[in-house]
C-alpha cells in the first residue's frame, strides 16, 4: 500500500467538493440565518467562521459557525455585550430552538439522522472602526468579556499550509473518541508542525503524534488573536490525557498493523443511516443489557 496515496484517499473522502449536496444545504442554512438576522438588525455583519472559513471542514463531524458582529457604534441590539447576545438570541428563537453555549448560540433543528444538526451563531461587537478585533460575551463563566479576531484565527489556520494535516488530525480525534476543542487541536498542529511543512503527510502525522506522546508536560498553545488575554491552557489541559493516550496507541497501531487500522479502509466506511439503524436495532433487541450504576 502506498501510504501517501492512502492518506490522500482518506482525506478526499472527508473533504467536501464545492458542489457537494451537504455544502449546498450548509450555504442555504447560512442564507436563512443571515436573512433572519438582517431583518432584525439591518447592517449587521454576518460571516462564516469555523472550519468552513478555515478550509478544514470534514465530513464525519461538521457544523455551521457564523459570526454576527455589530459595528462599534451600533446600538440597535443593545449597549452591553450581554444585551447584544440576548437580542440575537431573541431574534433567532422565533425560528429555532436556541441553546446557550459559552460564546455561541446553538440552533438545534433537523432530524437526528442528519450528519450535522446544529448551527452556532457567535454574537459580538467590533472594538473600533477597523472591524478587526471584537468583543464577545461569554455566558456562564467568570470572565464574561472575551476579545478575539476572526480574521486572525482564519488566517492562522487557513494559511498555515497544514490544512490537510489538520483535517486528518480532526478525523483521527473524532474516530478515536478523543474529546478536544477543535480550535486547540488546530493550533497544536500549526505549532508542532510549523518547522516540518515540507515533509510528507505521513511524516507530518507521525511527528505530530510523537510530540503528543513524548512532550505532554510541555504542550501549550496561545490564542493568536489575543495571546496575553485569552488563556487556552485550561482547555488544553482537559484534553491532554486523551491526546497523549490516543497518540501513543495510534503509533503502536501503525507499527503493529499499519495505517489502515488507524483510519480504516474505504470498504469499512458505513453511511450514517446504516450506523443509526444498527444502534436503534441493537437497543431494541439486546436482551438483558447491563444497567450501569454508580456508588
By CB under 8 A, name the binding residues for another protein: 112, 175-180, 238-239, 241-242, 245-246, 249, 252-253, 256-257, 261, 268, 270, 274-275, 278-279, 281-283, 285-286, 288-295
- Collapse the DSSP code of 244 into the 3-class scheme (helix H, G, I; strand E, B; otherwise coil) and give the result: helix
- Of 94 and 286, nearer to another protein (C-beta) is 286
Alpha-carbon gap, residue 141 to 134, rounded angstroms: 18
CB of 277 to another protein, least distance (A): 8
CB of 84 to another protein, least distance (A): 30
- Of 123 and 246, nearer to another protein (C-beta) is 246
Torsion angle, alpha carbons of 147, 65, 238, 242, to 10: -150
Residue 180's closest CA among 82, 61, 98, 280?
Answer: 61
Residue 250's closest CA among 170, 176, 165?
Answer: 176
Q: Which three cell numbers stand for residue 258?
A: 499499519
- Of 21 and 283, nearer to another protein (C-beta) is 283
CB of 114 to another protein, least distance (A): 12
CA distances 18 to 15, 21, 23, 95, 206, Å, are: 9, 9, 7, 28, 30
CA 233 to chain centre: 17
- Of 35 and 99, nearer to another protein (C-beta) is 99
- Of 42 and 293, nearer to another protein (C-beta) is 293
CB of 175 to another protein, least distance (A): 6
| Residue 41 DSSP label | S
Residue-wise burial string across 144-155, b where 16 or more C-beta atoms lie within 10 A, e elsewhere: eebbbbbeebbe
- Collapse the DSSP code of 61 into the 3-class scheme (helix H, G, I; strand E, B; otherwise coil) and give the result: coil
- Of 43 and 292, nearer to another protein (C-beta) is 292
CB of 207 to another protein, least distance (A): 21
Dmax (CA) of the chain: 64
CB of 173 to another protein, least distance (A): 8
- Of 24 and 60, nearer to another protein (C-beta) is 60
The rounded radius of gyration (Å) of the Cα atoms in the chain is 21
CB of 272 to another protein, least distance (A): 10
Amino acid at each position: 500500500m502506498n501510504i501517501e496515496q492512502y492518506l490522500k484517499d482518506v482525506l478526499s473522502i472527508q473533504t467536501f467538493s464545492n458542489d457537494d449536496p451537504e455544502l449546498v444545504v450548509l450555504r442555504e442554512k447560512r442564507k436563512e440565518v443571515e436573512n433572519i438576522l438582517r431583518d432584525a438588525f439591518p447592517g449587521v455583519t454576518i460571516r462564516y467562521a469555523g472550519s468552513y472559513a478555515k478550509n478544514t471542514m470534514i465530513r464525519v463531524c461538521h457544523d455551521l459557525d457564523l459570526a454576527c458582529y455589530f459595528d462599534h457604534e451600533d446600538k440597535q441590539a443593545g449597549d452591553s455585550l450581554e444585551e447584544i447576545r440576548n437580542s440575537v438570541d431573541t431574534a433567532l428563537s422565533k425560528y429555532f430552538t436556541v441553546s446557550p453555549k459559552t460564546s455561541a448560540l446553538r440552533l438545534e433543528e433537523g432530524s437526528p439522522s442528519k450528519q450535522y444538526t446544529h448551527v452556532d451563531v457567535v454574537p459580538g461587537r467590533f472594538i473600533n472602526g477597523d472591524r478587526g478585533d471584537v468583543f464577545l460575551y461569554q455566558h456562564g463563566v467568570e470572565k464574561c468579556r472575551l476579545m478575539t479576531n476572526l480574521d486572525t484565527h482564519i488566517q492562522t489556520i487557513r494559511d498555515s499550509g497544514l490544512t490537510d494535516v489538520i483535517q486528518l488530525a480532526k478525523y483521527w480525534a473524532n474516530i478515536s473518541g478523543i474529546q478536544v476543542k477543535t480550535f486547540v487541536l488546530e493550533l497544536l498542529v500549526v505549532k508542532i508542525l510549523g518547522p516540518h511543512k515540507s515533509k510528507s503527510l505521513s511524516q507530518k502525522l507521525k511527528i505530530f503524534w510523537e510530540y503528543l506522546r513524548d512532550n505532554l508536560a510541555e504542550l501549550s498553545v496561545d490564542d493568536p488573536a489575543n495571546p496575553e488575554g485569552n488563556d487556552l491552557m485550561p482547555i488544553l489541559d482537559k484534553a491532554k490525557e486523551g491526546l497523549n493516550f490516543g497518540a501513543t496507541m495510534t503509533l503502536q497501531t501503525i507499527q503493529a498493523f499499519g495505517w489502515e487500522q488507524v483510519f480504516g479502509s474505504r470498504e469499512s466506511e458505513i453511511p450514517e443511516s446504516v450506523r443509526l439503524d444498527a444502534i436503534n436495532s441493537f437497543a431494541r433487541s439486546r436482551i438483558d443489557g447491563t444497567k450501569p450504576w454508580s456508588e
